[in-house]
């Protein structure tokens, strides 16, 4: 067992087991306090909410509460380890919501593999929450589950494994493309991986200006082509091509996007790319090709990984706390494409405005204190302008409020 594993086990076991607890936010010091908090006083807000459901956002924790929900079918790089074994990850997500955006969250692990039953269970829980963060649900079921819940529920539903990865990839890619003097509309992109994260990344890149005919997608069996029997999301990315392997399509590529597994990329593949290649090897914990091996054959490459021990970490925590903070504060009914795009641009702009901006700094660092106040207001504005928010937040005033919130979280 490695040192990090030993430290992690000791960390989780120390003191009160786990990483989270519940706190009481109102005074319960007197008999009158207790009468107001519970019976008989609690009947008053109950009746107000019964008459006007939106009052729940005034009288309960709903307006600052997110459900972090999984069935444990695709936990990190560990696979289908089950709902209970996924609980430490969900607790970790709760910690990140609180640490970075002051959002309270409950982790809910559901022992159910049937997609329709899972939809019904999650939908029945929705009155508790102001938003739902789906986590670690395997593809292709995750696409269906998110779509069905978004259709049914009046609160934001967001599968972070898909869209969180896509947003941070989008921000880093915009900066890398600009830094290398390219045009996103003409770059050739090769993607290794055809799961939930890969599909979301590609869709967002197209939304940002990439052209579908310049994109080649590979799964474990090779290039997605029209001669292969494909269905669902994979069929949408099938190309008319005689190429069958990843190595074949890497020739002349500008961008490699790896959302697959370790060792699928070689140094020869990097050599076959165009000069100044953009190489995002995001498999975790072991990337498709280690950055030092990429750098050996392409010293001028811009490289990103999913790891914290290399520059340019593509970490979902750069976006999901701020997306939900904005959505909750402006009363958004969903997290839409406009909000995701606003987050991409805000993250990219923040990195560009930093003195460290360069090939080893194309996205902000996870602990950048500017994130809460710099990204969140842009998302809230996009929500209001696109018609999904109940109220408009003035960016400058909202940013000031978030500065105070951020200071309280330190």
Q: Is residue 135 a known part of a binding site? A: yes
Q: Write down the catalytic residue from 11, 55, 59, 93.
A: 93
| CB-CB contact of 325 with 102 (8 Å) | yes
DSSP β-bridge partners for residue 105: 66
**Is position 340 annotated as part of the catalytic site?**
no
Q: Is residue 71 a known part of a binding site? A: no
Q: Is residue 136 a known part of a binding site? A: yes
**Is position 398 annotated as part of the catalytic site?**
no
Q: Which class for 396: exposed (0-12), middle (13-18), buried (19 or more C-beta within 10 A)?
A: exposed
Cite the beta strand spans of 172-252 per DSSP E.
Answer: 189-192, 215-219, 222-223
Q: What is the DSSP letter of 136?
A: S
Give φ, ψ of 219 to 5 degrees: -110, -165
Specify the residue for token string 């939304």: 207
Q: Write down the catalytic residue from 7, 11, 38, 221.
A: 38
What is the rounded CA–CA span in Å between residue 172 and residue 357? 11
Specify the residue for token string 């519940």: 22
Q: Which residues contact 320 (CB under 8 A, 6 or more apart)?
A: 96, 97, 133, 158, 160, 164
| CB-CB contact of 378 with 395 (8 Å) | yes
| CB-CB contact of 297 with 267 (8 Å) | yes
Q: Is residue 5 a known part of a binding site? A: no
Q: Which residues contact 153 (CB under 8 A, 6 or more apart)?
A: 123, 126, 132
Cite the beta strand spans of 315-358 per DSSP E.
Answer: none
Q: Is residue 368 a known part of a binding site? A: no
Give φ, ψ of 34 to 5 degrees: -65, -35
Q: Measured over all CA atoms, what is the biggest interatomic distance in the chain, rounded to whole angstroms?
A: 78
List, by residue number, the catalytic residues: 38, 93
**Residue stretches of the annotated binding site for a divalent metal cation:** 135-136, 161
Q: Which residues define the annotated binding site?
A: 135-136, 161, 284, 315
């Amino acid at each position: 067992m490695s040192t990090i594993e030993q430290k992690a086990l000791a960390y989780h076991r120390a003191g009160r087991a786990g990483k989270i607890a519940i706190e009481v936010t109102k005074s319960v010091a007197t008999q009158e306090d207790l009468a107001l908090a519970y019976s008989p006083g609690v009947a008053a807000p109950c009746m107000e909410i019964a008459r006007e459901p939106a009052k729940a956002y005034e009288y309960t924790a709903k307006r600052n509460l997110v459900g972090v929900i999984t069935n444990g079918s695709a936990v990190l790089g560990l696979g289908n380890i089950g709902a209970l074994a996924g609980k430490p990850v969900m607790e970790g997500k709760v910690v990140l919501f609180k640490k970075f955006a002051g959002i309270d969250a409950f982790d809910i692990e559901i022992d159910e593999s049937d997609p329709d039953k899972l939809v019904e269970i999650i939908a029945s829980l929705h009155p508790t929450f102001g938003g739902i963060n789906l986590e670690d649900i395997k593809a292709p079921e995750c696409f269906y589950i998110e779509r069905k819940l978004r259709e049914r529920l009046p609160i934001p539903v967001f599968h972070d494994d898909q869209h969180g990865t896509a947003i941070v990839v989008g921000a880093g890619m915009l900066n890398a493309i600009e830094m290398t003097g390219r045009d996103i509309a003409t770059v050739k992109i090769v993607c290794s991986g055809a799961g939930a994260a890969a599909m979301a990344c590609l869709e967002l890149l197209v939304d940002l200006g990439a052209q579908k005919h310049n994109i080649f997608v590979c799964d474990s069996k090779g290039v997605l082509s029209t001669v292969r029997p494909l269905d669902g999301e994979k069929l949408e990315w099938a190309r008319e091509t005689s190429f069958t392997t990843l190595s074949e399509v890497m020739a002349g590529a500008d961008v490699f996007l790896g959302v697959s597994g370790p060792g699928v990329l070689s140094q020869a593949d990097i050599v076959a790319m165009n000069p100044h290649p953009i190489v995002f090897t995001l498999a975790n914990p072991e990337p498709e090709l280690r950055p030092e091996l990429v750098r050996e054959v392409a010293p001028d490459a811009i490289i990103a990984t999913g790891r914290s021990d290399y520059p340019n970490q593509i970490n979902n925590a750069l976006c999901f706390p701020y997306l939900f903070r904005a959505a909750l504060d402006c009363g958004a009914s969903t997290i839409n494409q406009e909000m995701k795009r606003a987050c991409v641009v805000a993250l990219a702009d923040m990195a560009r405005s930093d003195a460290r901006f360069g090939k080893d700094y194309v996205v902000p660092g996870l602990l950048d204190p500017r994130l809460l106040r710099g990204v969140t207001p842009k998302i809230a504005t996009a929500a209001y302008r696109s018609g999904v928010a109940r109220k408009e937040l003035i960016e400058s005033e909202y940013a000031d409020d978030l500065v105070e919130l951020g200071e309280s979280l330190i």
